[in-house]
Amino acid sequence: PVASLRLSTGADIPAIGFGTFADVIVPGQMQAAVLAALDAGYRHLDCAWYYKNESEVGSALQSWLTANPNVKRKDIFVTTKVWTHLLEPDDVEWSLNNSLQNLKVDYVDTFLIHWPFASERTDDREVKLGADGKYIIKKELTANLAPAWRAMESLQLSGKTRSIGVSNYDIHHLEALLAYAEIRPAINQVEIHPYFPNTELIEFCKMNDILPVAYSPLGSQGQVKDLEGLEDSKVSVLTDQTLAEIAKMKSGSVAQICIAWGTKRGYPVLPKSSNPERLRANFEVLELSETEFEQVNGIANRLGEKDGKGLRFVNPKGMFGLDNWKS
Ligand code: A2P
């Protein structure tokens, strides 16, 4: 089995998880992908209300567990997240209940606040957009998410989630949270890949006993269009020359190098693929030598960015129309 990392709660989280976000929902495809992932040995599923496919993921999980009675629910680490429009305390609870129902489980292993801002919802709990098509930000709740965090804490106490955490929090968001948290976040799930190593944030998390978890570890293929002022072709991690050379030397793929680099840095990574062969290959762990590891570390600094921090593909400003987003 793949290695695990330990959360501040004492629970273990497998170092490679299966991401279930899909840009385009094709009926039946996620179910097939989750079955293939569980068959390949993945024991960590990353889900969210926002992905709109938790009932498919849940059906796959349920039927796979029935067909594989020596693996139990407790052997699989399940994550879900609450979206920005459901951050009023009652809605936070509703969101987890909704995810549990769709996932067909009676608890999740971790429940995360998906983004550090709150937005308006419709009466039937969908995202409410303004006339300009942008999210309508709830300014007061966004400025102080403590009521949402209190709701998260009581959900952990209720046992419906074994741990709680956040996603897409920068250092200043975490500092604000740590000032009022009675139960501290176990996880901060953020974008990390060789073009966006996110080193400062990772160090802050580790100092505070928060485990970083890497989404888009392969460089976020589907999201390149969100980058401001750069052509798609310039920013593909999977076709990076240096990574390709290392991959060739090791008879592996660039994706495997990205995954190996992440696990060597000491956090779980969440590659996603709907292709059974690629998802199997992504689960085969390669070991990087120190030299190879340093070569990958050097990539972000080669990108020509003034601050050497690299390129963040998932850009909340562009995605949600947040003019005042401060990273
Ligand atoms: P596909 O589903 O066709 O395999 P990220 O996790 O960084 O957001 O990237 C996910 C994207 O990377 C998906 O579009 C997925 O496409 C693709 N992908 C996943 N594994 C591999 C791989 N081993 N080689 C190339 N592309 C991959």
DSSP string, 4-59: EEE-TTS-EEESB-EE---SS--TTHHHHHHHHHHHHT--EEE--GGGS-HHHHHH
What would the mean pLDDT of 170-185 be, rounded to a whole number?
98
Centre of ligand 1 from the C-alpha of residue 280, in Å: 12
Confidence of residue 308 (pLDDT cuts 50, 70, 90): low
CA angle 81-43-250, nearest 5°? 110
Interface confidence (ipTM) of the complex = 0.95
Ligand 1 contact, 296 CB (< 6 A):
no
State the distance from the centre of ligand 1 to the C-alpha of 33, rounded, in angstroms. Answer: 12
Which atom of ligand 1 has the smallest separation from the CA of 281?
A: 23
pLDDT (tens digit per residue) in 247-268: 999 999 999 999 999 999 999 9
Q: What percent of the chain has pLDDT over 70?
A: 92
**What pLDDT was estimated at residue 226?**
46
pLDDT value of position 90: 98
Average pLDDT over residues 298-308: 67
- Asked whether residue 324 carries a pLDDT value surpassing 90, the answer given is no
Q: What pLDDT does residue 322 have?
A: 73
The sign one gets for the Cα dihedral 245, 3, 50, 273 is positive
For 75-102, the pLDDT digits (tens) are 999 999 999 999 999 999 999 999 999 9
Q: At 291, is the pLDDT very low, low, confident or very high (cuts 50, 70, 90)?
A: very high
Ligand 1 pocket, mutate which of 213, 215, 240, 278 (most atoms under 8 A from CB): 278
Q: Among 21, 51, 273, which is best to mutate for testing ligand 1, by the most ligand atoms less than 8 A from CB?
A: 273
User: What average pLDDT score do residues 21-37 get?
Assistant: 93
The pLDDT tens digits for 191-238 are 999 999 999 999 999 999 999 999 999 997 655 444 555 555 457 899
Q: List residues forming the annotated binding site.
A: 114
Q: Which atom of ligand 1 is nearest to the CA of 216?
A: 7
Instruction: Kindly give the distance from the C-alpha atom of residue 160 to the centroid of ligand 1, in angstroms, as a whole number.
Output: 32
CB-neighbour burial class of residue 161 (10 A; exposed 0-12, middle 13-18, buried 19+): buried
The H or E element that residue 249 is part of is helix 241-249
What spacing in Å lies between the alpha carbon of 218 and ligand 1's midpoint? 7
pLDDT at 306: 47
Please name each of the domains of the chain with its CATH number. Answer: 4-320 (3.20.20.100)
Q: Name which of 119, 213, 116, 209 is nearest 170 in CA terms.
A: 116
Confidence class for position 319, pLDDT limits 50, 70, 90: confident
Confidence category of residue 305, pLDDT binned at 50, 70, 90: low
Our answer on whether the CB atom of 19 is closer than 6 Å to any ligand 1 atom is: yes
| Whole-number pLDDT of residue 102 | 98
pLDDT at res. 234: 57
Distance 148 CA to ligand 1 centre (A): 33
As annotated, the binding site for substrate includes 114
Q: Is 42 a catalytic residue?
A: no
Residue 205 · residue 188 · CB < 8 Å:
yes
E strand intervals along the chain? 4-6, 12-14, 18-19, 44-46, 77-82, 110-113, 164-167, 187-191, 211-215, 269-270
Residue 278 beta carbon below 6 angstroms from any ligand 1 atom: yes
The band of 315, judged by pLDDT with boundaries at 50, 70 and 90, is confident
Name all contacts of 223-229 with Cβ < 8 Å and 24+ positions apart. 223/313, 223/314, 224/313, 226/313, 226/314, 226/315, 226/318, 226/319, 227/311, 227/313, 227/315, 228/315, 228/318
- Residue 233 is predicted with a pLDDT of 47
Q: How many other CB atoms are there within 10 angstroms of residue 168's CB atom? A: 20
Q: Distance between CA 144 and CA 180 in Å, rounded?
A: 10
Q: Is ligand 1 within 6 A of the CB of residue 281?
A: yes
Q: Is 222 in the pocket of ligand 1 (CB under 6 A)?
A: yes
CB 122 within 8 A of CB 128: yes
CB of 262 closer than 6 A to ligand 1?
no
Ligand 1 atom closest to the CA of 215, numbered from 1: 6
For ligand 1, atom 19, name the residue with the nearest CA.
Answer: 273
Which among 23, 272, 274 is the best mutation to test ligand 1's pocket, defined by most ligand atoms within 8 Å of the CB? 272
What pLDDT does residue 251 have? 95
pLDDT, averaged across the chain: 92
What would the pLDDT profile of 116-168 be if each residue is shown by its tens digit?
Answer: 999 999 999 999 999 988 999 999 999 999 999 999 999 999 999 999 999 99
